[in-house]
Structure 1
Amino acid sequence: MARRTKEEAEETRAQILDAAERVFYANGVSATSLADIAAAAGVTRGAIYWHFQNKVDVFQAMLDRRLLPQEELARACESEDEPDPLGNMRQLLVQLLQRMHANDEYRRVGEILQYKCEYSSEAGGLRQQMQAFQQECDQRIARTLRNAVNRGQLPADLDCQRAAICMHAYLDGLQAHWLLKPEAYDLGAHAHAMIEALIDMLHSKALRTI
């Protein structure tokens, strides 16, 4: 009986996140209330508060759910024991672009992040949370780059922090560009070439330490 109750709770949580994703996409994050999410999910606001503290918490859980499938490969990139951190990073980034192209849910979350995530006072700590998320991404990319440097896969004098910021900006810009008009080109088909261009950038003299 207890197991069934736990399964039901997980189903309700997933139902809330599915609804939040749809409503955030339709209305934008700032214009969406917990009441809107509850109505779309067919649950009470109390059910939402059982699983989440507030709207920002719902937003973060929605984001985490889409990032989770790639987490294992991301952690492998960051491990000092990984023999091919650069190869793993290349694979991870190609998968990211291909999933953006092929998966409707993943693409919807990407569009919410790029175009429907307003940092208004109504959104509470969303801006701070996204700043922390961006900083963590930069740090994780930099760790992977340092591992690749230590493995002799990248120049020994690469400025890993500056390179991480450039990589992050490239990926954000590429996704934002494609999401605005997905029919313009096949992102999945071009994913390998796009990432190879990014990897080539890491050998630029402009990214070396001074």
Structure 2
Amino acid sequence: MARRTPEEAAQTRQQLIETGLQLFSRQGIENTTLKQVAQAAGVTHGALYWHFRNRADLLLQIHHAYELPFEAQYLEQRQGAQQDALAALRQYVMGVLAEFARLPAAGAIYKIFYMAATPVADLAEVEPELSDNRTLWQDQLKFFLKQARKQKQLRKNSSPAALAFCLQAALSGLLQEWLKSEGRFDLQAEGQMLIDILLAGLPHK
């Protein structure tokens, strides 16, 4: 049997990651075996184990292979927050939702790693990263809200941390409902309505 080139090995590894992403998001982690992933990817069981130690390792590598849109949208709107923080916050939220609507892989990643109803043993290794990401996304919301308070768009005694927590909970709920429904409603339209309601309810000066 001819030895595979590094390029072929890299292609097989990427194929396994993409197949794993699809199966885990569709079937759930505990209902998806490595044998199923290998078969769906068109490779042998042994070839999969050459690339990944076990299911937990495959999940870890899937998580590292894709980026969710929060950081990119935050960086894009950070400068605008210096002039109009609430407008930048709105653009940040709508930009994140637009990217989820545009990129199926982003929704699949969120579904696998951030929507588990109960702890999953195979996510133990990646859980610290997931926890850090949740905190990071909340901190991004808090940044816009702190800027809004500085710009006197919010009352001086308002709590950016508490408001960020509430906003994150509401937006997470919307995203999860959209993913559970398999995209049966317009995420951006509903997101626009939700952010309008949430921003109108903030403790303005």
- Return the TM-score normalized by structure 2: 0.72
Whole-Å Cα distance in 2 between the matches of residues 108 and 36 of structure 1?
A: 18
The change in CA–CA distance for 1:174 and 1:80 in structure 2 (over 3 A counts) is closer
Deviation at 1:81, TM superposition (A): 7.7
What corresponds to 1:152 in structure 2? 152
RMSD: 3.5
Residue 64 of structure 2, aligned match among 61, 66, 90: 61
Whole-Å Cα distance in 2 between the matches of residues 85 and 55 of structure 1?
A: 40
Whole-Å Cα distance in 1 between the matches of residues 83 and 31 of structure 2?
A: 47
SS at match of 1:112: helix
Q: Select between 33-42 and 162-171 the one with higher mean Cα deviation.
A: 33-42
What corresponds to 1:188 in structure 2? 188
1:125-161 superposed Cα distances (whole Å, 9 cap, x missing partner): 3444432322222222212221222233333322011
What corresponds to 1:136 in structure 2? 136
What corresponds to 1:123 in structure 2? 123
Deviation at 1:121, TM superposition (A): 2.7
The change in CA–CA distance for 1:11 and 1:146 in structure 2 (over 3 A counts) is farther
Number of equivalences: 196
The change in CA–CA distance for 1:109 and 1:72 in structure 2 (over 3 A counts) is closer
Deviation at 1:74, TM superposition (A): 0.7
Which structure: greater helix fraction? 1
1:147-202 superposed Cα distances (whole Å, 9 cap, x missing partner): 22223333332201111110110011112223333565433333322211122232
Residue pairs, 1:97-108, within 5 angstroms: 97-108=97-108
1:68-111 superposed Cα distances (whole Å, 9 cap, x missing partner): 5x533312445698433332221121132334345433333343
What corresponds to 1:208 in structure 2? none
Asked if 1:176 corresponds to 2:169, the answer is: no
Asked if 1:86 corresponds to 2:124, the answer is: no
In structure 2, runs of 5+ residues without a counterpart are none
Deviation at 1:25, TM superposition (A): 1.5
SS at match of 2:157: coil
Partner amino acid for 2:96?
Answer: L
Whole-Å Cα distance in 2 between the matches of residues 9 and 88 of structure 1?
A: 43
Partner amino acid for 1:189?
Answer: A
The change in CA–CA distance for 1:189 and 1:78 in structure 2 (over 3 A counts) is closer
Whole-Å Cα distance in 2 between the matches of residues 16 and 29 of structure 1?
A: 15
Partner amino acid for 2:196?
Answer: E
The change in CA–CA distance for 1:72 and 1:114 in structure 2 (over 3 A counts) is closer
Partner amino acid for 1:44?
Answer: L
Residue pairs, 1:22-37, within 5 angstroms: 22-34=22-34, 36-37=36-37
Residue 50 of structure 2, aligned match among 33, 46, 49: 46
Whole-Å Cα distance in 2 between the matches of residues 74 and 100 of structure 1?
A: 15
Whole-Å Cα distance in 2 between the matches of residues 184 and 27 of structure 1?
A: 19
| Contact 2:21–2:109 (CA under 8 A) maintained in structure 1 | yes
| Contact 2:153–2:204 (CA under 8 A) maintained in structure 1 | no
Whole-Å Cα distance in 1 between the matches of residues 167 and 52 of structure 2?
A: 36
The change in CA–CA distance for 1:86 and 1:8 in structure 2 (over 3 A counts) is farther
Whole-Å Cα distance in 2 between the matches of residues 99 and 91 of structure 1?
A: 12
| Contact 1:138–1:168 (CA under 8 A) maintained in structure 2 | yes
